[in-house]
Chains A and B, each alone.
Chain A
Amino acid sequence: MTVTSSTQWTVRSRSGRISVRLHRRTVWVAVVLVVLCCAVVLASLLSGNYPITMPDVFRALGGHGTLQQRYFVNDVRLPRVLVALLVGAALAVSGAIFQSLSANPLGSPDIVGFNNGAAAGALVSILLLKDSSLASTGVGAIAGGGAVAVLIYLLSYRGGVRGYRLILVGVGVSALLSAGIAYLLSRANLNEMLNAQIWLVGSLNGRSWEHVWILLAVLVVVLPSAFLLSKPLLTLELGPDSATSLGLPVGAVRRRAITVSVVLSAAAIVCAGPISFVALAAPQVAKRLARSVGPSLSISALSGGFLLAFADLVAQRLIPGSQLPVGVTTLVLGGLYLGWLLSGEMRRGRA
Chain B
Amino acid sequence: MAVVSPPRPEPVARPKVNVARGAGLVAGLALIGVAVIVSVAVGAKDLPIGVVWDALFHFDGSYDANLVWDQRIPRTLLGVLVGAALGTAGALMQAVTRNPLADPGLLGIESGASAAVVVAIAVFGVTSLTGYVWFALVGAAIASVVVYLLGSTGRGRANPVRLALAGTVVTAVLTGIISAFTTMNARTTQSMRFWTIGSLINRGYDVLFDVLPFLVAGAVISLLLTRSLNALALGDQVGRALGAHLGRTRLLSVIAIVLLCGGATAAAGPIGFVGLAIPHAVRAVVGPDYRWVVPYSMVSAPLLVLGADVLGRVVLPTGELEAGAVTAVIGAPVFIYLVRRKRLGEL
B335 adjacent to A172 (CB under 8 Å): yes
For the residues of B in contact with A, the DSSP-based class is helix
Q: Which of B146, B156, B176, B321 contacts A186 (CB 8 A)?
A: B321
A186 adjacent to B154 (CB under 8 Å): no
Range for the number of chain B residues in contact with chain A: 35 or more
Instruction: For the complex, give the distance between the alpha carbons of A190 and B191 in Å.
Output: 12
Q: Which of A136-175 contact B (CB under 8 A)?
A: 155-156, 158, 164-165, 167-169, 171-173, 175
Q: Answer yes or no: A22 CB below 8 A from chain B CBs.
A: no
The minimal Cβ–Cβ distance linking B280 to chain A, given in whole angstroms, is 14
Instruction: For the complex, give the distance between the alpha carbons of A158 and B272 in Å.
Output: 26
Residues of chain B with a CB closer than 8 A to A173's CB: 332, 336
A168 adjacent to B176 (CB under 8 Å): no
Residues of chain A with a CB closer than 8 A to B173's CB: 331-332, 334-336, 338-339
Known: A169-B339, A172-B339, A276-B172. A187 touches B316 (CB 8 A): yes
Taking each of A106, A156, A328, which has the highest tally of chain B beta carbons within 10 Å of its own beta carbon?
A: A328
The digit string for A274-298, where 1 denotes a CB below 8 A from any CB of B, is 0011000000000000000000000
Among the stretches A10-18, A66-74, A177-185, A225-233, the one at the interface with B is A177-185
Q: Which of B172, B322, B329 contacts A338 (CB 8 A)?
A: B172
Residues of chain A with a CB closer than 8 A to B189's CB: 194, 197
Instruction: For the complex, give the distance between the alpha carbons of A339 and B272 in Å.
Output: 22
B165 adjacent to A179 (CB under 8 Å): no
Number of interface residues of A (CB under 8 A): 51
A346 adjacent to B339 (CB under 8 Å): no
Instruction: For the complex, give the distance between the alpha carbons of A165 and B170 in Å.
Output: 19
Q: Answer yes or no: B182 CB below 8 A from chain A CBs.
A: yes
Q: Answer yes or no: A325 CB below 8 A from chain B CBs.
A: yes
For the residues of A in contact with B, the DSSP-based class is helix
A190 adjacent to B169 (CB under 8 Å): no
Q: Answer yes or no: B320 CB below 8 A from chain A CBs.
A: yes
A165 adjacent to B154 (CB under 8 Å): no
Instruction: For the complex, give the distance between the alpha carbons of A309 and B172 in Å.
Output: 21
Can you name the residue of chain A whose Cβ is closest to the Cβ of B106? Answer: A171
The digit string for B315-332, where 1 denotes a CB below 8 A from any CB of A, is 110011110111011011
A167 adjacent to B165 (CB under 8 Å): yes
Known: A155-B336, A175-B332, A331-B172. A343 touches B106 (CB 8 A): no
* Beyond A172-B335, A186-B316, A331-B172, 5 additional pairs, beta carbon < 8 A: A168-B164, A173-B336, A175-B273, A176-B333, A201-B183
**Closest CB pairs A-B (n = 3):** A331-B176, A335-B173, A179-B325
Interface residues of A (CB under 8 A from B): 106, 110-111, 155-156, 158, 164-165, 167-169, 171-173, 175-176, 178-179, 182-183, 186-187, 190, 194, 197-198, 200-201, 276-277, 319, 322, 324-325, 327-328, 330-332, 334-336, 338-339, 342-343, 346-349, 351
Instruction: Show 18 A/B contacts (Cβ-Cβ < 8 Å), sorted by A.
Output: A111-B168, A111-B169, A168-B161, A168-B165, A171-B164, A175-B335, A176-B333, A178-B197, A183-B321, A186-B320, A186-B321, A197-B179, A276-B172, A331-B172, A332-B177, A335-B173, A342-B169, A343-B150
